[in-house]
Amino acid sequence: MTAASAVTVKKQHLIDPEICIRCNTCEESCPIDAITHDVNNYVVDDSICNDCMACVPPCPTGAIDNWIQVLSTNTYSVEEQFTWNELPEPQEVPEGVAQDMSEPVEVVPAEALSADEAALTNVANTPFTAAGASIPPWSAAHPYVNWYTHKNPVSATVVGNYRVTDSDTESDIHHIVLDFGDNPMPVLEGQSIAIFPPGNDANGRAHHARQYSIASPRDGERPGYNNLSITVKRVRAGHDSNPVDGVCSNYLCDLQKNDVVKVIGPFGSSFLMPNQPDANIVMICTGTGAAPMRAMTERCRRLTKENKFNGTLMLFFGARTERELPYFGPLMNLPKDFIDVNLALSRSADKPKKYVQDLIRERAHDVMNLLKDSKTCVYVCGLKGMEEGVLSALKDIVTESGRNWEDMHAELKAKGRLHFETY
Ligand code: NAP
């Protein structure tokens, strides 16, 4: 065989740097560490990627979903991809080299298939370790995504910015309301937007956009207005507790009324609420992970007022103290027969330390009754660390009720009834 005849055409898995919002979801969901990043881009290592597709459904923007035609002798290295500002054009194929136009096939989580289907599609051996569903509940409204991208961001005007934690506490959390004027911004509860902080990073490149969950319902922070809200915590320390000022969080928390911000989005097509009037929603959150829960709760509150919602809402909300729990006052004012609120306080002077998973265990009977109901969807948002704790609590209460956790977990994921958004 000559060298020329050994050249083949393939589709290389690449991430579109113009759409990617650098949220790290793909890197976290890749089971074989084929995805990596530098300060500039998230990239796929062609020598490792096996096209298993585990990273594709969780990506909120679809930036991950690109397969570009390349010659097998001329694939793009990780180092090359780090320098890109946009995806390359498909490579030209010299005469005599056969075109292989086959696309990778999207892998359905094995648990969504019967044993026969799984055997047929050969996905039983595919690692798919996501804790939650990659599809929305069946009744969710259809979301718009990527309405505004890096190439065509939209401007929004700050119409409100106030603190929602007590002023003398360490947790400086702000509720920020953005008005989009005449520009459409169609969003659903559970979706997010991303905002560009002004200025450049240490390498002289414009800062990447930072992603925030929307904290208001689809019809606006103020019903009928073209506005939405986000919940932002001022970051003063990194994960290792070293002092570091968050570039975007400080910019946002300092915004004044009438300031203008640059926005892209909306993003997210699975962390969406059911649209049935009799759906039940179990919400589990910590800190600013409350944002999508506020959006869903407010949506249901507005629907209830019009007699269009009569499902059950149960909330598990973790914070250090009551005074550091965002939206504490408004949350406590909600009627008890509208929402079942369970506060897990970890640093309260007069209460034992509790995490949300402790309260889920304490309310095992009621949580289990809801889980058994096919109309119940569960949403978890907040600190990455809570994911394991919440899953373990759910596993324990399901097992103690005499059911098989693996089966129920698989069903919750396959039906779009269990969702995680943790950072
Ligand atoms: P935080 O104040 O640091 O923590 C909130 C509560 O969670 C505290 O009581 C904390 O207890 C507790 N906690 C710590 N580890 C836990 C674990 N393993 N399991 C259960 N509870 C645990 O929270 P935060 O700073 O607001 O962070 C919220 C997270 O949500 C961030 O990671 C953020 O990125 C993410 N998020 C934000 C948005 C948004 O739109 N703003 C959206 C999605 C997700 P301790 O006393 O032990 O600290």
Pairing relation of β-strands 376-382 and 280-286? parallel
Closest to 46 (Cα-Cα) out of 88, 70, 77, 72: 77
- Ligand 1 site residues (CB inside 6 A) read 171, 212-213, 231-233, 286-289, 291, 318-320, 346-347, 355-356, 381-383, 385-386, 389, 421, 423
Tell me: pLDDT of 153 over 70.
yes
User: DSSP string of 157-170?
Assistant: EEEEEEE-S-TTSS
Mutate which of 21, 165, 286 for ligand 1? The one with the most ligand atoms within 8 Å of its CB, which is 286
pLDDT of residue 216: 97
pLDDT per position as a tens digit, 283-301: 999 999 999 999 999 999 9
Across the chain, mean pLDDT equals 89
Question: Could you identify the atom of ligand 1 that is nearest to the CA of residue 326?
Answer: 26
The closest residue, in CA terms, to atom 43 on ligand 1 is: 289
- CATH-assigned architecture of domain 154-267: Beta Barrel (2.40)
Please state which CATH number belongs to domain 115-141+270-422.
3.40.50.80
Distance 314 CA to ligand 1 centre (A): 19
Sequence length of the chain is 423
Question: Could you identify the atom of ligand 1 that is nearest to the CA of residue 213?
Answer: 40
What's the average model confidence in pLDDT over 341-369? Answer: 97
As a whole number of angstroms, the distance between CA 173 and CA 168 comes to 12
What's the average model confidence in pLDDT over 381-396? Answer: 96
Boundaries of every domain in the chain: 1-106, 115-141+270-422, 154-267
Q: Which helix (H) or strand (E) holds 229?
A: strand 227-233
Distance 127 CA to ligand 1 centre (A): 28
pLDDT per position as a tens digit, 19-76: 888 888 899 889 999 999 998 899 999 999 998 888 887 887 888 989 999 999 999 9
As a whole number of angstroms, the distance between CA 95 and CA 4 comes to 10
The closest residue, in CA terms, to atom 25 on ligand 1 is: 287
Q: Is CATH 3.30.70.20 the classification given to domain 1-106? A: yes
Indicate the pTM of the whole model: 0.84
Distance 115 CA to ligand 1 centre (A): 38
Question: Could you identify the atom of ligand 1 that is nearest to the CA of residue 173?
Answer: 26
Tell me: pLDDT of 164 over 80.
yes
pLDDT of residue 105: 44
Question: Percentages helix, strand, coil for the chain, rounded to the nearest 5?
Answer: 25, 25, 55
Sign for the pseudo-dihedral over CA of 137, 138, 139, 140: positive
Question: Could you identify the atom of ligand 1 that is nearest to the CA of residue 212?
Answer: 40
- Plot region of 171 (φ>0 → left; ψ -120 to 50 → alpha; else → beta): beta
Closest to 247 (Cα-Cα) out of 22, 19, 64: 22
The closest residue, in CA terms, to atom 6 on ligand 1 is: 319
Distance 319 CA to ligand 1 centre (A): 7
Pairing relation of β-strands 210-213 and 192-196? antiparallel
- Backbone φ and ψ for 283, nearest 5 degrees, come out as -115, 130
Question: Could you identify the atom of ligand 1 that is nearest to the CA of residue 211?
Answer: 40
Cα 97 from chain centroid (whole Å): 42
Closest to 320 (Cα-Cα) out of 383, 393, 252, 242: 383
pLDDT of residue 246: 87
